[in-house]
Structure 1
Amino acid sequence: MDKYKFTAAENQRFARANFTKLVHTNARFEGVNTTLPQTQTIMDGMSVAGVPVEDVLTIVNLKRGWQYITAQNSPLTLTMEKQINKIVAAEDALVPGELRQGKGGADLGSDDFFEQPLINEKQEQSFLQKILADP
């Protein structure tokens, strides 16, 4: 059971109030090791000594992604998800803004390898609609 129930406007306000923390946390998942103050400095448009350009671009793109998300006033769609990907993966993805079509995987160690299945856009659309309809 949800402990809190925010309206869309309250969710947007909360995200905007916590932009730096959201971007910093997301950046950590991308392997960026900046501190919270360094992340804020980069988000403010200034450089930080010792932070690689790739990490700066990741932070800037994540910031732009959160700005895009909080500016939306319509329900989430697969098209919107693709746009978010186009923004945040502009420097990293082979085809930003599109569903992955190639094969790839991750080495899990100890001779284990995980290969993701190919993505079926209709199944993804159906999955998203099911999740959004679930109370």
Structure 2
Amino acid sequence: MSAHKCILGLVLLELKNIAMTAFSDNTWHMKPNIALAKQLAKRDVPALVYDAVNLEGVAMTLPEVQTILDGITVGGHRISDQNMAMNQAKAWEFIFALVDRREFKFTKEIALKIHNIAGQEEALEWGKFRSGY
């Protein structure tokens, strides 16, 4: 399930957030710019979605993913594949909302909520850990 990619991205985003707030630059004397870090992370959503769907074996190009995220269907792809891309983007928006509200903690509950969004209509059971092999 592409939730693995989403969780990896979640961890990276949290590490970036921690680095921006906890550490300062002693060489260049630059202050952390949290707003810019969030802007750059949000800008990368199409690339993150592209990586996730391709990791799942759905051959989409980055321009196709961007078109789908803009709400336009792309010929030659199943609706389920396009829904997978949209679910990935929704999962990222959920993560960004948690970060914006400073409510993000990498917990079991948050991971399951992300999987609930990312795996909707795709995984056998979304929002739950696998119960079988």
Same fold at TM > 0.5: yes
Say if 1:15 and 1:22, in contact at 8 Å, map to a contact too.
no
Counterpart secondary structure, 1:42: helix
Q: Residues 89 and 96 of structure 1 are in contact (CA less than 8 Å); yes or no, is this contact kept in structure 2?
A: yes
Q: Counterpart amino acid of 1:81? A: A
Structure ranking higher in helix proportion: 2
Give the CA deviation at 1:99: 1.2
Question: Tell me, which stretches of 5 or more residues in structure 2 are unaligned?
Answer: 1-15, 23-33
Query: 5 Å matches for 1:103-114?
Result: 104=133
User: Aligned in 2, Cα 1:7/1:51: closer, same or farther, shift over 3 Å?
Assistant: farther
Q: If each structure's strand is expressed as a fraction of its own residues, which one has the higher value?
A: 1
- Structure with bigger gyration radius: 1
Residue 45 of structure 1: aligned partner: 71
Instruction: Report the RMSD for the aligned CA atoms in angstroms.
Output: 1.9
Paired positions, count: 100
The Cα shift of 1:24 comes to 0.7
The TM-score, its normalising length taken from structure 1, stands at 0.67
Q: Check whether the contact 1:42–1:60 (CA below 8 A) recurs between aligned residues.
A: yes
Aligned partners of 2:50 and 2:85 also within 8 Å:
yes
The aligned counterpart of 2:83 is 57
Aligned to 1:131: none
Q: Which has the higher contact order (CA 8 A, sep 6+)?
A: 2
Uncovered stretches (5+) of structure 1, i.e. residues with no partner: 105-135
> What corresponds to 2:116 in structure 1?
86
Compute the displacement of 1:65 (Å): 0.6
State the alpha-carbon separation in 2 of the partners of residues 55 and 89 from structure 1.
Answer: 12
Counterparts of 1:7 and 1:94 in 2: how far apart (Å)? Answer: 38
Identity in percent? 32
Displacement of 1:94 in angstroms is 2.1
TM-score (norm 2): 0.68
